[in-house]
């Protein structure tokens, strides 16, 4: 089974948010609210019924909603990418949607850049 967020965050090798204030405070995961909450809230047990999963995920998202490092956590989960659990207020399925949108946006930006290069050259 995967480590719950609060345990895996203790050993996560992630760069802290840039800026002098964050560097003085230490890595982002040191401030994560989930470090103090029940691990089972963030990861699904095997064969969890749908209603129970949705309820658990909503409870985990409420914890994330009051976390001062939610954005850093979310970006960590998107960059890794973390395949399981609730990270930064997003489930694994929600993170897949965000990543797909980012890929689509990046492709559209590249196409637009190429089109403007061709127009400028022509």
Q: How confident is the model over 10-30, as pLDDT tens digits?
A: 333 333 333 334 444 568 888
The pLDDT value recorded for residue 96 is 96
Rounded to the nearest integer, the mean pLDDT of the chain is: 81
Quick: pLDDT tens for 43-65: 988 899 999 999 999 999 999 99
Reported pTM: 0.71
CA atoms within 13 A on the CB side of 98: 16
**Residues near 6 by beta carbon (within 8 Å), at least 6 away in sequence:** 32, 34, 35, 36, 37, 39, 42
Quick: pLDDT tens for 62-118: 999 999 999 999 999 999 989 999 999 999 999 999 999 999 999 999 999 998 888
Taking the C-alpha atoms of residue 80 and residue 67, their distance in angstroms, rounded to an integer, is 20
- Annotated domain spans of the chain: 5-121
Taking the C-alpha atoms of residue 57 and residue 41, their distance in angstroms, rounded to an integer, is 7
């Amino acid at each position: 089974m995967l480590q719950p967020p609060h345990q895996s965050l203790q050993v996560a090798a992630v760069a802290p948010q840039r800026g002098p204030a964050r560097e003085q405070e230490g890595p982002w995961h040191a401030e994560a609210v989930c470090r103090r909450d029940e691990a089972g809230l963030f990861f699904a047990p095997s064969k969890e019924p749908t209603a129970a999963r949705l309820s658990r995920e909503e409870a985990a998202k409420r914890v994330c909603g009051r976390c001062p490092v939610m954005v850093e956590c979310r970006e960590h989960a998107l960059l890794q990418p973390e395949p399981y659990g609730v990270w930064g207020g997003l489930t694994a399925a929600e993170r897949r949607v965000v990543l797909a949108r980012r890929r689509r946006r990046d492709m559209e930006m590249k196409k637009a850049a190429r089109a403007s290069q061709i127009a400028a050259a022509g």
